[in-house]
Chain A
Amino acid sequence: MDFILGHYNYWIVIFLMMIGFYTVVSRGNLIKKIVGLNIFQTSVFLLYISIGNVKEGTTPIVAEGFTQYSNPLPSVLILTAIVVGVATTALGLALVVRIKEAYGSIEEDDIHDQDQSL
């Protein structure tokens, strides 16, 4: 029971990661793939922040009356990762717009068929 209480966080986050992964791999619509990629990224962030959390600690901002703080280092890494993630999403969505203008469709099967028939 203690084992489950100590680890359920990680298991649910891995479940969310796998849902995002499945959306990227199995769905053919490009916008849905990008949404799935973002779900995957966000759940990876959750995993890292859960690793850095300390139970009796507080937010890593120095304040009187608190001696134990949560780890600030995963927060820093994830801040960078969130911003890089939005940069990637913006570029991916710009590519989707151009693909729609060039092929007329954003379904992967249609694009593949048009490429094969060239």
Chain B
Amino acid sequence: MIDILIDITLLAFLAITAIAIIRIRNLFAVVMLFGIYSLLTAGLFVVLDAADVAFTEAAVGAGISTVLMLATLALTKKHEEKRPTHKPWLPLTVVLVTGGALVYGTLDIPPFGDANAPAQHHVAPRYIEQSANETGVPNMVTAVLASYRGFDTLGETTVILTAGIGVMLLLGGRLSRRKPQSNEDKT
């Protein structure tokens, strides 16, 4: 009972934070709210029994992502969003249609926490039973990540390296703030 209550409270706070992120126009407040959103999600991951994922989300989402967004705000020196000029009817329709289709899709999903759901059947029992014997590592998530699905993790490490190279190419030069060549964007 108590974890259903914690679940509902955290999800409600998440929804309120997300709505505040859309409505608020001050960009600094939006980035701070994004850090709060990440931390709440990390708490929710702990309630949902995924400790590794909670750890990574708290470190990466509430840590690195927020720091990088603050650095971007400092570099672009823009602190408030412009008032939206277009009417929101088309985006709202697209969003409602997509949301409706997704909710229609969830009507057939087995209830939350069901031990007989199809997701728990194919390879998961093998990993749960055999990983401690075959790899000698008690943490099943590390065993699956590093040993059973090690090839995917190699690809992921290469993606991180590529992102580092990309940012180095885009921002690594010593040219800080050249003035724009034309005068047409002096507002």
Contacts and interface: CB of A to CB of B under 8 A. Distances in A.
Are A and B in contact, CB atoms below 8 Å, in the complex?
Answer: yes
Given A88-B163, A93-B68, A93-B69, A38 B115 contact: no
| A3, A26, A104 — most chain B CB neighbours (10 Å) | A26
Interface in B79-114: 81-82, 84-86, 88, 91-92, 94-96, 98-99, 102-103, 106-107, 109-114
Contacts of B44: 46
Given A17-B102, A49-B53, A52-B50, A35 B112 contact: no
Contacts of B78: 29, 31, 100, 105-106
- The B contact surface, by secondary structure, is helix
Given A22-B92, A106-B78, A94 B167 contact: yes
B152 A80 contact: yes
B178 interface: yes
Contacts of A8: 8
Interface string A99-118: 01111111101100010010
A97 B18 contact: no
B159 interface: yes
A64 to B, nearest CB: 10
Contact of B167 (A7, A20, A90): A90
Nearest to A63: B138
Contacts of B138: 61-63
B98 A83 contact: no
A11 B117 CA distance: 18
Nearest to A15: B15
A60 B38 contact: no
A12 B9 CA distance: 12
A interface residue count range (under 10 / 10 to 19 / 20 to 34 / 35 or more): 35 or more
Contact of A80 (B95, B115, B153, B177): B153
A16 B113 CA distance: 20
Contacts of B72: 31, 93, 96-97
Contact of A50 (B103, B112, B166): B112
Given A35-B21, A35-B69, A76-B144, 14 more contacts: A18-B99, A19-B22, A31-B78, A35-B31, A45-B45, A54-B115, A55-B112, A55-B114, A71-B120, A72-B124, A72-B127, A84-B159, A89-B68, A89-B69
26 contacts: A2-B111, A14-B103, A17-B102, A21-B98, A27-B81, A27-B84, A28-B82, A31-B69, A32-B30, A39-B21, A45-B45, A52-B120, A54-B120, A56-B115, A57-B115, A61-B140, A69-B128, A73-B124, A74-B50, A75-B50, A79-B52, A80-B153, A83-B156, A83-B159, A93-B69, A94-B171
Contacts of B95: 18, 21-22, 25
B19 interface: yes
